[in-house]
Amino acid sequence: MKGGLTSTRILVVEDNYILATALAECLEDEGAEVLGPCSSVGSALSLLGNAGRVDVAVLDVRLERETSEPVAALARRRARWCC
């Protein structure tokens, strides 16, 4: 069943496999196109850099020994460039 997120492209960055999978499934059930989930800053930056349009980013702040702040910064910069 598709819900209110149809056509919404959502980047998911979460290093806990169970949480990432559950979140992705919930978002997809609502009609979203999930990008990821990514479990590291490097993979998220790479995906974000090549993903085209990204409408929303759901970020786990603490990813093992790093934070997702660089991903948030790139997402903010990209939001200013698009549309």
- What pLDDT is recorded for position 79? 74
Structure tokens at 54: 């990204």
Q: Could you give the CA distance from residue 80 to residue 63 in angstroms, rounded to a whole number?
A: 26
Q: 33-38 and 9-13 as β-strands: parallel, antiparallel, unpaired?
A: parallel
Measure the CA–CA gap between 32 and 27, rounded to whole angstroms.
5
pLDDT(63) > 50: yes
Peptide bond into 70 cis (omega under 30): no
Task: List, for residues 3-56, the tens digit of each pLDDT value.
Answer: 789 989 999 999 999 999 999 999 999 999 999 999 999 999 999 989 889 999
pLDDT of 82 reads: 52
The pLDDT of residue 81 is 53
Q: Which domains does the chain have, with CATH numbers?
A: 9-81 (3.40.50.2300)
Q: Are 33 and 39 in contact (CB under 8 A)?
A: no
Q: How much is the pLDDT for 83?
A: 47
Residues 55 and 9: beta-carbon distance below 8 Å? yes
pTM: 0.89
